[in-house]
Amino acid sequence: MNHLWTASDFSDAVEPISQPGEIGNVDGVSIDSRSIGKGDAFFAIKGDRFDGHAFAYSALEAGAAVVVLEEAQKSDFSNLSERVVFVDDVLKALERLGRAARKRTKGKIIAVTGSVGKTSTKDALRKALEPSGKVHAAVASFNNHWGVPLTLARMHADSDFGIFEVGMNHSGEIRTLIDMVRPDIAIVTTVVAAHIGNFNSIDEIAVAKAEIFEGVVSGGSALVNGDNEFGDYLAKQAASCGIENIHRFGSDAEFDAKLLKADLRADGSDLSISLFGEQYRVHLAAPGAHLAQNSLAVLAVVHLAGANVPAAIAVLASHGATKGRGERHELSIGKGTALLIDESYNANPSSVSAALETLGLGSGKGSGRRIAVLGDMLELGSDAAALHMSLKEMLVDAGLDKVYLCGPMMHHLWECLPKDMQAGYGERSQDLIAPLKEDLQEGDMVMVKGSLGSRMGVIVASLLESYKN
Q: Which residues are annotated as a binding site?
A: 114-120
Beta bridge partners of 297: none
Cα 444 from chain centroid (whole Å): 28
8 Å CB contact between 461 and 449:
no
Strand order in the sheet with 185-188: 135-137, 161-165, 108-113, 185-188, 221-225, 245-250, 257-265, 268-275, 278-284
What are the two backbone dihedrals, phi and then psi, of residue 49, each rounded to the nearest 5 degrees?
-110, -25
Q: Which residues are annotated as a binding site for ATP?
A: 114-120
8 Å CB contact between 424 and 317:
no
| CA–CA gap between residue 305 and residue 293 (Å, rounded) | 19
| CA–CA gap between residue 194 and residue 213 (Å, rounded) | 20
| CA–CA gap between residue 253 and residue 380 (Å, rounded) | 35
